[in-house]
Amino acid sequence: MNAILFVTDPLVGLQPEVDATIGLMAASQDLEHEVWCCQPEELAVIDGRLRARAHRIRLRPRRPGSDHRWIVDPSWYDELGSGLVDVGDFAAVHLRIDPPVDDRYLHATYLLDLAGTRVINRPDGIRAVHEKLIALRFPELCPATYVGTSVAALREFVARTGTAVVKPVDGFAGLDVWLVHDDHAATSLLESATHGGRRQVIAQEYLPAVAHGNKRLFLLDGEIIGAVLRRPEAGDFRIGPPVSVAPIDAADEAIATALRPILVRHGLTIAGADVIGGRLIEVNVTCPGGMHKTDALLGTTLSHSIVQHLTHTRKGVLT
C-alpha cells in the first residue's frame, strides 16, 4: 500500500499552523502517499494481527505565514473514508503521540511492536532511551547535572552552580520548569519541584549562553539535516519558537557523532537535540517537533527531506 499511517492524538486538538505531525502529513501527501491516521485507542490485535480503526484524510492547501506559522483553513483537512485496516499493510507508521510517556503512550508502543512494518520512531527504542536522561551518557558534552529527589542535595547543587534549571524527569512542553537561584527562596522552590522529596527531578547548571539562543539540531538517522535557534520570550526564561537559522559548528558535530550510534541502534530515526552554548541539554525522540515551524520561518523543507529519506531506506521504500 502506498500509504502512511500516523498514530497520533485527536486531530481536533492539533495545531495545524505549527504542528510537526501535520507537517509530516503534508509532506507525505505532497510526495503522493495516502495519509491515514488513528488514535492509540483505535489500535487492536485481532487474530494475531495489529489492526486500526483508521481514517484516510486529505490536507487542504497551506502556505507559509510571516513567522513560524503556516496559514491554513480552520477546517484544515477532509476525511475521505475510514475502516478497519491491517497496520502491516502500510509502508510505514509514524508514532506521533505527544509526551508524557505515560501508560497510554507505553501501551501504544507495545501494540506497535506487533505492527509488521516499519514504525518511526521504533517503539522499543523509545522505551529504551529517555530523552531527558540520554545526555548523561555523555557527561563531557552536557552541563553540570544532578538527578534525584533529595532537597538537601539539590540545595547543595544550586549553591555550587549559583543558578540551576530544575525540571521533572517525566516533564514535557516546558511545564513545571523552575529557575532556582542560590537565595533564601531556593529550599522552598525545590520542595515544591520535588513534591516534598517524592518526585525525581533534573537540575542542570543554568547556562547564560541561552540568551544567545537554544539551538535545535534536527537529526535524521543521527545525521544533522538542519538547525534553528530559539530564544526565551520576553518575561520568561523558557525557550520560545524558532527565530533564525543556526550555524552548525564543531560542537554540534561532536554531539551528533556521540549520539548517532545510540539513535541508529534503537531505530530513533527522527530526533531533535537541544544545545545551549555547545552543551547538550536533551534529545527529543518521543514526538520530535520544530520541523514544520522551521520550514514556515526559513523556507526550508525539513519535513519533505524526512519523508523522502524514509521512502528510500531499508523497508521504508514506498514506491
Q: What is the pLDDT of residues 33-45, one digit of tens each?
A: 999 999 999 999 9
- List, for residues 118-148, the tens digit of each pLDDT value: 999 999 999 999 999 999 999 999 999 999 9
pLDDT higher than threshold 90 for residue 319? no
Q: Report percent pLDDT > 90 for the chain.
A: 85
CB-based contacts of 16: which residues, under 8 Å, 6+ apart? 22, 62, 70, 72, 76, 77
Identity at 163, one-letter amino acid code: T
Angle between helices 151-161 and 186-193 (to 10 degrees): 130
pLDDT higher than threshold 60 for residue 259? yes
The CA distance from 149 to 146, in Å, is 10
pLDDT for 213 equals 85
**Other CB atoms within 10 Å distance of the CB of residue 231:** 16
pTM: predicted TM-score of the whole model, two decimal places: 0.91
pLDDT higher than threshold 70 for residue 305? yes
pLDDT for 13 equals 92
Output the CA–CA distances (angstroms, integers) from residue 222 to 252, 255, 278, 316, in the order listed: 12, 10, 17, 17
Nearest to 37 by CA among 49, 50, 52: 52
Half-sphere exposure of 262 (CA within 13 A, CB side): 20
pLDDT for 236 equals 63
pLDDT higher than threshold 60 for residue 313? no
pLDDT for 185 equals 93
- Three-class secondary structure of residue 225 per DSSP: strand
pLDDT higher than threshold 70 for residue 67? yes
pLDDT for 100 equals 87
Half-sphere exposure of 128 (CA within 13 A, CB side): 12
Identity at 213, one-letter amino acid code: G
The CA distance from 274 to 216, in Å, is 5
Peptide bond into 214 cis (omega under 30): no
pLDDT for 316 equals 38
Nearest to 167 by CA among 176, 159, 156: 176
Distance of CA 98 to the CA centre of its chain: 8
Q: What's the average model confidence in pLDDT over 93-100?
A: 94
**Other CB atoms within 10 Å distance of the CB of residue 243:** 15
Domains and CATH numbers, the chain: 3-121 (3.40.50.20), 144-206 (3.30.1490.20), 209-285 (3.30.470.20)
pLDDT higher than threshold 60 for residue 4? yes
**Other CB atoms within 10 Å distance of the CB of residue 19:** 23
- Three-class secondary structure of residue 129 per DSSP: coil
Does residue 104 contact residue 97 with C-beta atoms inside 8 Å? Answer: yes
Mean pLDDT over the full length of the chain: 92
Does residue 310 contact residue 121 with C-beta atoms inside 8 Å? Answer: no
Q: What's the average model confidence in pLDDT over 90-113?
A: 95
Q: What's the average model confidence in pLDDT over 230-247?
A: 78
pLDDT band at residue 173 under the 50/70/90 scheme: low
pLDDT for 242 equals 86
pLDDT for 287 equals 93
pLDDT for 1 equals 63
- List, for residues 191-235, the tens digit of each pLDDT value: 999 999 999 999 999 999 888 889 999 999 999 999 999 887 666
